[in-house]
């Protein structure tokens, strides 16, 4: 029996589990370690923030997928990894040996320390922590006296930052029409959505303008102060609520592993997704650094799934893994909080209600695929 251990219940591993459920691999014992039996699916986060679907409809049931694949599921956080010793250490101190391993634990971000007098913080990664923080924010907002004014500052000009700000703003305004919500977006880059073309960028900027969001680029936020976001240069920006959506970084516990990480803490992999210098260990999705840098987007984690499944099978059989050719460009559908979305594909961009409905269809199909029967 070969011990195949998957660490993390990310999108790529969901596809691996589906593939192993459809075609079990003889002679392989499959184990999945994930911190939660339900994994967040970010595509539906804006719809959930906007009250358009339930939290459960944004989650993939990893434990159920394991049952279908005949895999053992361990609901634990991985705390250490050694390719040389061929073991994963869990947060409860137990160790799990493997012959072949794969890591798909996503990414986190450098969060500013929040003190009592600092504004209220909603950090966008890891996504698993978002529901409880969002619920607590809604309760705070519900308790505010009528007529109050709240300033929301969003840090990070990527697609996730723009999209979540627009969803949060729309939902809070709908929830408390008797309050005034002002909003400001700070981005360290010289432009919003640096990975998108000019047209989709302009469409997202227009949506932010229409929602009354002040946009400031070339401004690096570095922390939280007394009811404000502090900047690397210049006066602090007053804030009551802060959305923190800066660039992704790798999980801290990977730094103590014997895997080769890049400067942002992501596991360096070759084109086959095998970790550099660690034969039989694979990594995919946000936690991996592919030889040609890929955007940290769920769609790449998804597209890698069937390929990773195949390479894990091949490695279990003693065959060499094969290279993956990621798509050169992918479709992004960015919700704008008003029942519309911006569709972005390379240099092309368009926006409308149809784009939001399209996004809903794609994301709904994705959730249904892994959770049959969840949606009514
Ligand atoms: C607000 C927001 C909106 C986004 N919207 C989009 C979008 O519309 N389209 C798009 O393509 N991308 C989007 N993204 C990016 C997308 O979320 C990520 O690229 C994607 O989730 C990465 O998938 P993954 O499989 O690598 O990891 P994840 O989806 O992050 O999954 C990692 C899993 O591993 C588990 N895990 C983490 N640490 C451990 C540990 N130590 N031990 C055990 N288990 C662990 C986690 O609980 C999680 O289930 C968005 C991101 C954010 C923050």
Q: Is 357 exposed, middle or buried (0-12, 13-18, 19+ CB in 10 A)?
A: middle
Q: What is the maximum span of the chain, computed from C-alpha positions, in angstroms?
A: 68
Ligand 1 binding pocket includes 9 (Cβ within 6 Å):
yes
Number of separate helices (H) and strands (E) present in the chain:
8, 23
Ligand 1 binding pocket includes 46 (Cβ within 6 Å):
no
In 76-206, at which residue ranges do the beta strands (DSSP E only) sit? 78-82, 87-90, 95-97, 100-103, 120-123, 149-155, 180-187
pLDDT of residue 318: 96
Reported as a pLDDT band with limits 50, 70 and 90, residue 139 is very high
* Residue 265 CB neighbours (<10 A): 17
- Mutate-to-test residue for ligand 1 from 12, 45, 104, 105, highest number of ligand atoms within 8 A of CB: 105
Ligand 1 binding pocket includes 12 (Cβ within 6 Å):
yes
- Which residue's alpha carbon is at the smallest distance from atom 15 of ligand 1? 297
The C-alpha angle with vertex 244 and arms to 243 and 248, in degrees rounded to 5, equals 145
Ligand 1 binding pocket includes 108 (Cβ within 6 Å):
no
Structure tokens at 299: 């769609």
Asked if 356 and 363 touch (Cβ cutoff 8 Å), the reply is no
- Tell me the percentage of the chain whose pLDDT exceeds 70: 99
Residues in the chain: 376
Structure tokens at 86: 């061929």
Spacing, Cα 233 to ligand 1 middle (Å)? 31
Alpha-carbon span 38 to 85, nearest angstrom: 29
Atom of ligand 1 nearest to the CA of 125: 53
Pairing of strands 100-103, 281-283: parallel
Spacing, Cα 337 to ligand 1 middle (Å)? 21
Spacing, Cα 284 to ligand 1 middle (Å)? 11
Q: Which helix (H) or strand (E) holds 126?
A: none
Spacing, Cα 202 to ligand 1 middle (Å)? 26
Alpha-carbon span 13 to 162, nearest angstrom: 28
Ligand 1 binding pocket includes 35 (Cβ within 6 Å):
yes
Atom of ligand 1 nearest to the CA of 284: 26
- What is the 8-class DSSP label of residue 373? T
Alpha-carbon span 5 to 25, nearest angstrom: 14
Matching CATH number, 120-246, of 3.30.420.10, 3.40.50.2300, 3.30.70.360, 3.50.50.60: 3.50.50.60
Structure tokens at 70: 């005949």
Ligand 1 binding pocket includes 246 (Cβ within 6 Å):
no
Spacing, Cα 107 to ligand 1 middle (Å)? 7
Closest by CA to 152, choosing from 114, 112, 111, 180, is 180
122-131, 273-282, 350-359: least confidently modelled range: 122-131
Q: Do 2-35+76-108+249-316 and 120-246 have matching folds? A: yes
Q: For residue 214, give the 3-state DSSP assignment.
A: strand
Question: Could you identify the residue written with the tokens 């069937």?
Answer: 306
Phi-psi region of 80 (alpha: psi -120 to 50; beta: other; left: phi over 0): beta
Give the domain ranges of the chain: 2-35+76-108+249-316, 120-246
Spacing, Cα 179 to ligand 1 middle (Å)? 33
Per-residue pLDDT reduced to its tens digit, 50-74: 888 888 889 999 999 999 999 999 9
Alpha-carbon span 54 to 131, nearest angstrom: 11
Spacing, Cα 37 to ligand 1 middle (Å)? 14
Ligand 1 binding pocket includes 286 (Cβ within 6 Å):
yes
Ligand 1 binding pocket includes 344 (Cβ within 6 Å):
no
Closest by CA to 103, choosing from 229, 5, 14, is 5
**Whole-angstrom Cα Rg for the chain:** 21
Classified by CATH at the fold level, domain 2-35+76-108+249-316 comes out as: FAD/NAD(P)-binding domain (3.50.50)
Kindly compute the dihedral angle of the four CA atoms of residues 201, 206, 207, 209, in this order, to the nearest 10 degrees. 130
- For the chain, the average pLDDT equals 94
Q: Give the mean pLDDT of 332-344.
A: 94
Asked if 264 and 121 touch (Cβ cutoff 8 Å), the reply is no
Spacing, Cα 109 to ligand 1 middle (Å)? 12
pTM: 0.94
Atom of ligand 1 nearest to the CA of 124: 53
pLDDT of residue 125: 86
Reported as a pLDDT band with limits 50, 70 and 90, residue 116 is confident
Spacing, Cα 16 to ligand 1 middle (Å)? 16
Ligand 1 binding pocket includes 305 (Cβ within 6 Å):
no
Per-residue pLDDT reduced to its tens digit, 301-336: 999 999 999 999 999 999 999 999 999 889 999 999
């Amino acid at each position: 029996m070969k011990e195949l251990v998957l660490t993390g219940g990310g999108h790529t591993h969901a596809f691996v589990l589906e593939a192993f459920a459809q075609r079990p691999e003889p002679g392989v014992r499959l184990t999945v370690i994930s911190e939660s039996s339900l994994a967040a699916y970010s595509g539906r986060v804006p719809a959930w923030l906007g009250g358009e679907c339930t939290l459960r409809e944004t989650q993939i049931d990893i434990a159920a997928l394991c049952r279908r694949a005949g895999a053992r599921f361990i609901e634990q956080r991985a705390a250490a990894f050694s390719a040389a010793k061929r073991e994963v250490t869990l947060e409860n101190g137990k160790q799990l040996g493997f012959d072949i391993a794969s890591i798909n634990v996503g990414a986190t971000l450098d969060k500013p320390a929040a003190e009592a007098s600092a504004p209220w913080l909603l950090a966008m990664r890891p996504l698993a922590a978002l529901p409880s923080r969002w619920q607590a924010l809604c309760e705070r907002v519900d308790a505010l006296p009528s007529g109050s004014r709240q300033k929301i500052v969003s840090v990070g000009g990527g697609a996730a930052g723009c999209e979540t700000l627009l969803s949060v703003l729309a939902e809070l305004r709908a929830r408390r029409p008797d309050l005034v919500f002002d909003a400001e977006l700070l981005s360290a880059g010289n432009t919003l959505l640096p990975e998108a073309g000019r047209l989709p960028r302009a469409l997202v900027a227009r949506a932010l303008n229409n929602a009354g969001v002040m946009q400031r680029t070339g401004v690096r936020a570095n922390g939280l102060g007394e009811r404000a976001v502090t900047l690397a240069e210049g006066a602090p920006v007053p804030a009551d609520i802060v959305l923190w959506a800066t660039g992704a970084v790798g999980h801290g516990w990977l730094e103590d592993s014997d895997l080769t990480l890049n400067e942002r803490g992501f596991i360096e992999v070759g084109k086959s997704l095998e970790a550099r210098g660690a034969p039989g260990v694979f990594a995919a999705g946000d936690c991996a650094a592919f030889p040609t840098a890929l955007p940290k987007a769920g769609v790449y984690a998804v597209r890698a799934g069937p390929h990773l499944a195949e390479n894990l099978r091949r490695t279990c059989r003693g065959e060499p893994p094969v290279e993956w050719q990621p798509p050169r460009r992918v479709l992004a559908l960015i919700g704008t909080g008003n029942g519309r979305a911006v569709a972005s594909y390379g240099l092309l961009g368009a926006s409308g209600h149809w784009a939001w409905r399209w996004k809903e269809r794609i994301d709904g199909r994705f959730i249904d695929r892994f959770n049959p029967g969840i949606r009514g």
